[in-house]
A and B are shown apart, each in its own frame.
Chain A
Amino acid sequence: DVKVTQSSRYLVKRTGEKVFLECVQDMDHENMFWYRQDPGLGLRLIYFSYDVKMKEKGDIPEGYSVSREKKERFSLILESASTNQTSMYLCASSFKLGAHNEQFFGPGTRLTVL
């Protein structure tokens, strides 16, 4: 059974802290994505990666960075957490050569920044 796992389901951090969110997939997918999901705003793409060490900005990259050192792992980093980064964070993966970029999602990390 295909699987995308995220390091934490719930996380509480303080303003100014550096936050790491980890995502691991076991499907040998080339593409990996980080989204945030907020009520009324839907899913918004933060960053994506189409290969190891490759990354591209999504629609809302400000305040975030990413790292992809291994194919199966994609990390999202909040350099200095702020309260407006309180959100549900979703990681997803897909095949590079998949016909329609169908994405497989992790269970999400609900991050609260105090």
Chain B
Amino acid sequence: TQLLEQSPQFLSIQEGENLTVYCNSSSVFSSLQWYRQEPGEGPVLLVTVVTGGEVKKLKRLTFQFGDARKDSSLHITAAQPGDTGLYLCAGYSGGSNYKLTFGKGTLLTVNP
């Protein structure tokens, strides 16, 4: 069974601070996706990382895929209250397997 461990589980910071969220597994994934879920809504895809070592930037968010394609990180610079939400990583094994393996998420609160 593939597992994705996310840390920390909860994070509460002040506006303007930087933070990093981690997503780790003992399994290799074909790709890894990051989603953000706001309270009372469904998750929304932020990014997909595919190549080992890949770094993708989305404004103040930087996503990295580990060289061995087993782990990923999300770094937010100068967090804003609008970044508040549940951040989920999801691994895709590829081929005809249609399932994603989801981590349990990091609940981020950015206080004004």
Contacts and interface: CB of A to CB of B under 8 A. Distances in A.
A100 B42 contact: no
Contact of B102 (A4, A43, A106): A43
A28 interface: no
Interface residues of B, number: 22
A107 B48 contact: no
Interface in A97-114: 99-108, 110
Contacts of A43: 43, 88, 102
A31 interface: yes
Interface string B17-46: 000000000000011010100001111110
Nearest to A91: B42
A105 B100 CA distance: 13
B105 interface: yes
A80 to B, nearest CB: 26
B55 interface: no
Contacts of A94: 98
B13 interface: no
A30 to B, nearest CB: 9
Contacts of A33: 98
Contacts of A107: 40-42
A50 interface: yes
